Amino acid sequence: MASRKSKTTKKRSPTGRPERFTPAQVIAALETSAGLICAAARKLRCSHSTVIDYIDKHPEIATRLDEIVEETLDFAEASLLQLMRDSKSPTVQLNASIFYLRTKGKKRGYVVSAEVTGKDGGPIETNNKQTLDLSNLSTEELAVLEQAAMVGLAKANVHRTH
């Protein structure tokens, strides 16, 4: 008697259903979409959550996705540097240079910051003083409120000691 062959040769997922795609197919879609999940999903004709599931289930896909993202960042940086060097428009060159310095030149002091002060350069005044009227609460409600306050104090003390 001949042995019976399985009707499907696809790898099965933990739920028992055969997987629709191989890791190589998902990686190829991610490569052609520069690591953009939704674009890869469109190429595979599936939902973005399906692609995310494959990334979560297959470490080789996650590793390759990280590499693809780094390659895309390198390409974007190279494009920005090319604009800084070769653009015929001084405005484009200036904007590209400013963007580069703000993102890559932080160690040299090229940061955008805003100093916020109160009146005449003094501290900012806050007026968060509110009075709560607890006289209308029942004994049970007061007990719940007290318990919540105790839990909050305990958490504050734990954070303070660590």
Reported as a single tens digit per residue, the pLDDT across 13-38 is 566 778 899 999 999 999 999 999 99
32 lies in some domain: yes
Q: What's the domain count of the chain?
A: 1
158 lies in some domain: no
pLDDT of residue 10: 57
pLDDT band for position 72 (50/70/90)?
A: very high
132 lies in some domain: no
Terminal Cα distance for the chain, rounded? 71
DSSP state of 127: -
2 lies in some domain: no
Question: What residues make up the domain containing 94?
Answer: 23-112
133 lies in some domain: no
User: 145 pLDDT exceeds 80?
Assistant: yes
DSSP state of 13: P
143 lies in some domain: no
User: 1 pLDDT exceeds 50?
Assistant: no
CA distance 40 to 48: 8
User: 58 pLDDT exceeds 70?
Assistant: yes
91 lies in some domain: yes
User: 141 pLDDT exceeds 60?
Assistant: yes
Residue 119 burial (CB count, 10 A): 8
